[in-house]
Amino acid sequence: MAICAFLGLGVMGYPMAGHLVSAGHEVRVWNRTASKAIAWAGEYNGQAYGTIEAAVDGADFVMICVGDDPDVYAVVKPALEVMQAGTVIVDHTTASAECARKCHSMSREKNIGFVDAPISGGEAGAINGQLTIMCGGEEAHFDKAEAIMSAYAKATKLMGPSGAGQLTKMVNQICIAGILQGLAEGVHFAQKAGLDIDEVVQAIGKGAAQSWQMDNRASTMGRDEYEFGFAVDWMRKDLGIALKTAEDVGANLVLTKMVDDYYADVQKMGGNRWDTSSLLKRLR
């Protein structure tokens, strides 16, 4: 059993912290909105803390799942002031590789491990403990953290030094963006041609066109339903990080930029909190 602090109880973090309790760990939680931490503690028989410092003091691992680079810095800096040497920070936030490298450097100065560990699998993956986690950092720190992350992960992989996990997550989001645009156009075409979406998926869903998005979103797109987890606002944040990094490394992301612009159209339609399959809305 380990003492784990979990900082950030959003859509993903809330159930992830719960899995740590189920795995037998002592879990301390902090959330910017304190009422959510209190609610979590009541549901999972854990401990809610009013400050970051109190939550992480004496913890073996500090798991973070917040919004963006500034949020990560705002959590890591006070945490490092009280964490003990030899402990490990595991950051599940989707942030920039630069943020990961800076936090790794700050942590290393205090002999504290830092693993950037962005997650994929959406809300359902978090609830079911079936997340995929791509990591960057030092192998010794990853090895320690992997046993803890197994409480909510179906797969974890060390991709390289600090920042490599975040870079891999960018690849993930780039691929998803293209797949979702293709699926939106396919569903749109099928509807215009008078085909039944569910029957189309049955016909092509085991062939070369198959994808997780087709299996899980084609039918709901056909019914004009877009309340399934990962929101357009979050996707635009992730794609913004990827596009900025692409400029830095000299990568040409023509399709990704196009899809990001399409998501901006969806936001203008009021779809900020629709899930990412809502690209179909702008085609109708």
Q: How far is CA 165 from CA 39, 196, 237, 242, in A?
A: 31, 40, 17, 13
Which run of H or E residues covers position 158?
A: strand 153-160
Specify the pairing of strand 3-7 against strand 113-116: unpaired
Q: In terms of Cα–Cα distance, which of 34, 17, 175 is closest to 90?
A: 17
- Whether 169 is catalytic: yes
Which run of H or E residues covers position 155?
A: strand 153-160
Chain CA centroid to CA 220, Å: 22
What counts of helices (H) and strands (E) characterise the chain?
Answer: 12, 9
Of 36, 102, 144, 169, which one is the catalytic site residue?
169
Distance CA 113, CA 17 (A): 20
On the 0-12 / 13-18 / 19+ scale of CB atoms within 10 A, 194 is: exposed
Q: Enumerate the active-site residues.
A: 169
